[in-house]
Structure 1
Amino acid sequence: MNDLKNIAATLTHDELIEVTKSSLCTLTSCDSLLNDLPLDIVTEEILLLTAVEHGKCITIYISRENEQKLKVIVPQNATVRELKKAIQRHFELYQRRIGLGVKISWKYIWKTYQLQFDGIILDDENSSIDNYGVNNKVTLAFRKKRKKNKKF
């Protein structure tokens, strides 16, 4: 234990962070239960994955045109607004992991696109996703809104 303290005392802060990260990567890659987790996982993701295992949260897949599905975790009694916030958080983490730093206007996204489940549009922000029949491991479609014809 004293040897570890002596080594830690000789390292700079950045070197200590690097050693810690590499040790955690080695541990998670060798463990059969943890090896599918991303190497830069954040605390929020760990808490959500634990909540899914305890049955407090559900996993929802978001299907996008010509893109891979997004896996989003939300509480069972989440509202449509909370689902949209979870999609935003997940997508921002996804972008950070692949190295994209593009700023997204979510206000524009939600004005232009909508979420659908079995042809039903999730349009009431304050309504629970249960009211639309959304439950664990379902796929929601991310579709462009249709323009309404304006009458003069």
Structure 2
Amino acid sequence: MKFVSREERSQLDEAKDSKSRISITLELAADHLTKAEEFTAQKKFEQSCEELGRYLGLLADARTFLATMNPSKNSTRDLYKHFDIALRKLPPRLAVMRRSTPADYAGNLKAAEEYTRETRSEVLDKFYGHTVLREDINGEKKPDEIKALPEGTKHP
């Protein structure tokens, strides 16, 4: 279902830096989602599913591209933030499309909505990676690393 056309792949490969590549990816993905919305409004659900597959392919490509970068660099964190801002407004658009789609095709839209949310969740985890407290099995929050005090130190 997910795919990126050769033309789009070459357009992404020609990007001069990571910021422009992510911007191009988000622009192309938004275009495909807009086309999918138009096809849904025209009751052309097969074409809508094709555009949805292209949209998901571009999201998967951006996700893979960002995973190869160093997450501790500020420039990478800026890309994650930019990607998050763009992803924030997409699930409601998918939900509106799903409401006007027959049950045969609504499953694809539900899966796309979940994939978009998972992608955004992953992006936020990477963006806040070193500053978030993790929960242990009991539900108690604790930092990633707990440093023990050396033996013999006095506590105040």
User: Which structure carries more strand by proportion?
Assistant: 1
Q: Higher helix proportion, which one?
A: 2
**Aligning the two structures, in what range does the TM-score lie when normalised by the shorter sequence?**
under 0.3
TM-score (norm 1): 0.25
What is the TM-score normalised by the length of structure 2?
Answer: 0.25
